[in-house]
Structure 1
Amino acid sequence: MTKHTPEPPPPVTILAVDDNPENIILLEVVLSELGYRVIGAANGVQALEILPAEHVDLIISDAMMPKMDGFQLCKSVKNNPALKSIPFIIYTADYLDDEDKDLAATIGADRYVVKSGGTDSVVLAVSELLNIDGPKIGYDPDQQKLPLDDQSFLEQHYKLLVKKLEEKMQNLEIYSQQLLIKNEQLQRSERRYRLLFEKASIAIFVLDPYNGRVTDANQFALHLLGYDREELLALGGLPVMQQESDGPSLVEAGFSGELTMRTKDGRVLCMESDVALIDHEDHSHLIVFSRDTTERKTMVERLFQSEKLSMLGTIAAGIAHEVRNPLAGIKLNLQFLEQKYGPAFEEYDVLTLAIQGTQHIEKVVENTLTMARSTAPDVHISDIRDLVAQSAALLRLMMNKKSIDFTAEIPADLPQVKIDAQQMLQVLLNIIRNAVEATPPKGSIAVTVSVEPAREDSLKPRLCCTVTDSGPGIADEYLKNAFELFRTTKSTGTGLGLSLSRRIMQQHGGDIAITRPAQGGTSIILYLPIP
Structure 2
Amino acid sequence: MNHKIAQGNLLVVEDNPTNLSFLFNYLTKSGFKVLVATDGETAIQRVEAAQPDLILLDVMMPGIDGFEVCKRLKSNPSMRDIPVIFMTALSDTIKKVQGFEIGAVDYITKPIQPEEVVSRIQTHLTLRNLQKELQVKNEHLLQSQQQEKQRSLELEKALQKLQETEVKLIQAEKMSSFGKIAAGIAHEINNPINFIYGNLYHANEYIQQLFDLITLYQETYTHPTEKITTQIQAIELEFIQSDLPQLLDSMQVGAERIRKTVLLLKNFFHLHEAELKFIDINQNIDNTLLLLQYHLDAKPGRPRIKVIKNYSNLPQVKCYASQLNQVFMNILTNAIDALDEKYGRRGSNLGSIRRDEGEEGEEGEFLRSRLHQEQSLTPRIWISTEIVEQTNIIIRIADNGLGITEDIRKRIFDPFFSTKPVGSGTGLGLTISYQIIVEKHQGQLLVTSEMGNGTEFVIEIPIQS
Bin of the TM-score, shorter chain as denominator length: 0.3 to 0.5
Larger relative helix fraction: 2
Task: Compute the TM-score of the two structures, normalised by the length of structure 2.
Answer: 0.34
From the CA coordinates, give the structure whose radius of gyration is larger: 1
RCO comparison, higher one (Cα < 8 Å, 6+) = 2
The structure whose residues are more often strand, as a share, is 1
User: Normalised by the size of structure 1, how large is the TM-score?
Assistant: 0.30
